[in-house]
Every structure is written in structure tokens, then in C-alpha cells.
Amino acid sequence: MESKTKNETELVERARHGDVKSFESLIEMTSPNIYNLGLRLMRNKEDAADIMQETYIKAYENLSKFKGESSFSTWLYRIATNNALMKLRKEKKRKVDTGVLEGAADKAHFDGLTDWSGNPARHFRNNELKEALNKAVDTLPPKYKSVFVLHDIQGLPIAEVADILSLSVPAVKTRSHRSRLFLREQLSEFFKKQKNLV
Amino acid sequence: MHMECEDLIRLISEYLDDEMEDLMRDEFREHIYRCERCTAILRTTKQTIVFVQEIHKEEKVPATLMRKVYYEIKIRSKK
């Protein structure tokens, strides 16, 4: 990890001095994360491609402004996420009310005792489940969705997510927790409906 | 301190993220051990995350997109 960061810092330094090959190496190193972030936030390849392209152009044009206070990858994540958030806010898709997310914890408490966690392999093949889950993730308001995707799908630590989104660590934790409980509740509803259909 | 169900639900993410202090973790586990409802909530929350990760597996960056990005950078480097 340390040598990766060192390598990244050296490449940024060289790119700053006009070495395009070094910037290309940075793109090669970081593009899987940036492309997949766009894909997971937007859920379509065209927007993911736009986000990736715009992110690298913006990063290249603003290299002199990169102060190295966070890692280059974190800085890129920040550019890409801000770009995606702007697109997400323009989306016409229905979003769940923040109050509903806040209430997901109470709902979990009074939820019927349903444990559908068994036999995950069978569920992975269930296309209706995939559809229901994607739909639920899409109804998360952008400020929740970005936290959920960065932390739970991209696998970034809470502190890095906070850095990317310029939020406090407790704010990230709250949004992550509410998103998880909301999605869990949506899946519980899905399994309840499926059970009633049998 | 005796952990109640609502405390446990509030702390689920902290537990899943492995950000809980030892003493608290012990109390959390003790509650889970005796509460079927909270066990179900913990398991299904964990499973929800696994499902989302499973359906959002990493995809390869298309080669055409990589070429396009390199091209855009090259143009800008000559300006």
C-alpha cells in the first residue's frame, strides 16, 4: 500500500511537470475504480463513461491545484462523485423521503420476525430480487446513495468516504446505517410478497 | 449495562464495520445470543450488503473508453 502511494505521488509529480505518460499510468491505475463508481451510482454505461472521461479531463486540467492533502485516488473519487451527484440530482426517478430513511430503524424494531438470510446462492439467481434491490438503491436520495456506494460497494473506509464527500465521520456513519436499514427493509418487504405468492 | 433491542439496531452498522469497542461488542453478542429477532435483523442487514455487492460486481473498463480518455488528455497536453 505504501509503495502504491509512493508510486502514485511520483507519477503525479511527473505529470505535473508535463509528463503525459505518467498521467496515463495514473489513469490505468485508477480507472477501474472510477468507472465502476460511475456505473454503480448511475447504473448505465453511458453515464459511467461520461463521468470517467470528465473526471480525468478535470483532474488533468487542475493538476496544479492538487495539493496532496489527500491521496490522488481520493481526489479523483471526489471529482467523480461530485460529477455523479450533479447528474443524480437532475434525475427524474422518484426518491424516498429522508424521513422514511430516518424511520427505517424503528421499522426494523417492529418488523415481523423474518429471517430470509438463508440460502443466498439461490437468491443470487433470482432476477426479481436483483430488480427489487436495484430499484431500492435507486430510490435512495443522492446524498445517501453516494455514501452507500462508496462505503458498501466500493469498499472504502468511513474516514475516506467522509474525506471524499467533505462530511464528518458521524454524518457518514448515520447515512450508511440508515441506507442499510432501509434497503434491508425493502428486501424484507420483497420476501414477504414472494412468500404470499407461493 | 443491559443492551435493549433498539440499542442493538442503532449499533448494527458499527458492529458490521468492526468499529465497536471490546466491551460493547461483548454486550452486543450477548444480546444477539438471546434475542432471535435481533439475530434476524443482524443477519438480514449483513445479507442485504452481500446481495448489493453481488449484483454490482466490478466490470472491466471498455477499451474504447480508455482510448477515448487517453486521446482527450493528449489533445489537452498539446495546448
Find chain A residues with C-beta within 8 A of B9's C-beta.
Answer: 105, 108-109, 181
By Cβ distance, the residue of A20, A27, A117 closest to B77 is A20
Percent of the residues in chain A that have a pLDDT greater than 90, as a whole number: 66
Whether residue A29 has pLDDT greater than 80? yes
- The CA distance from B6 to B38, in Å, is 9
More confident residue, A183 or A120: A183
- Looking up cell 486521446 gives B71
CB contact under 8 A, B56 and A40: yes
pLDDT of residue A103: 79
Decide if B16 contacts B46 (C-beta within 8 A): yes
Percent of the residues in chain A that have a pLDDT greater than 70, as a whole number: 90
Reported as a single tens digit per residue, the pLDDT across B7-48 is 899 999 999 999 999 999 999 999 999 999 899 999 999 999
Query: Across residues A143-166, what is the average pLDDT?
Result: 97
Residues of B contacting chain A (CB within 8 angstroms) = 5-6, 9-10, 12-14, 16-17, 19, 36-37, 39-41, 43-56, 58-62, 65-66, 68-70, 72-74, 76-77
Q: Quote the mean pLDDT of chain A.
A: 89
Q: Can you tell me the ipTM of this complex?
A: 0.92
Count residue pairs from A and B with Cβ separation < 8 A. 124
